[in-house]
Amino acid sequence: MRLSKLARFFCAGFDTVAMGGIAVTETGGQFARNLGEYVLWGSVLAAAVCAVVIIFDSLAPLAWVAIGYALFGGLLTPRSPHFGFILLALALIPMVPRPRDSLTLGLGIAAAAAVASRVLLTFAP
């Protein structure tokens, strides 16, 4: 049974708040001291993007890119793994719309986004 759009939106909103709490814990409440903190707080923003995509029920690939970025934040950053980010990103998967109704395509987009984020941040100043 699929949850209603409003229920999925509130669940994604809860994930966003939970990621924010984890980011505060992981960063000591600081923002932007280093690249790792940018990535963790960016993951919180990515979860918020998923909530917005759910409520408007469009731009499914954008939600999957956001999930990929959140997974990147949990798996591929300094002091990784951040299990809270990983689990909350995985919790978003059944809630967001699927691109072309394909879970495989969504997972591929998320994986490509995670790898691309890692590559791009390697070259960040």
How many domains in the chain?
1
In a domain, 88, yes or no: yes
Each residue's pLDDT tens digit, 66-120: 999 999 888 877 777 888 889 999 999 999 999 999 999 999 999 999 899 888 8
Domain region containing 11: 5-119
In a domain, 58, yes or no: yes
Mean of all residue pLDDT scores within the chain: 89
pLDDT at residue 1 tops 70: no
d(CA 96, CA 12): 9
Contact 89, 96 (CB under 8 A): no
In a domain, 124, yes or no: no
d(CA 103, CA 67): 13
DSSP letters along the chain, please?
-PPPHHHHHHHHHHHHHHHHHHHHHHHTT--SSSHHHHHHHHHHHHHHHHHHHHHHT--HHHHHHHHHHHHHHHHSSTT---HHHHHHHHHHTTTSPPGGG-HHHHHHHHHHHHHHHHHHHHT--
Q: How far is CA 112 from CA 3, 6, 89, in A?
A: 28, 29, 15
Grade residue 16 by pLDDT with cuts at 50, 70 and 90. very high
In a domain, 73, yes or no: yes
In a domain, 68, yes or no: yes
In a domain, 125, yes or no: no
pLDDT at residue 122 tops 90: no
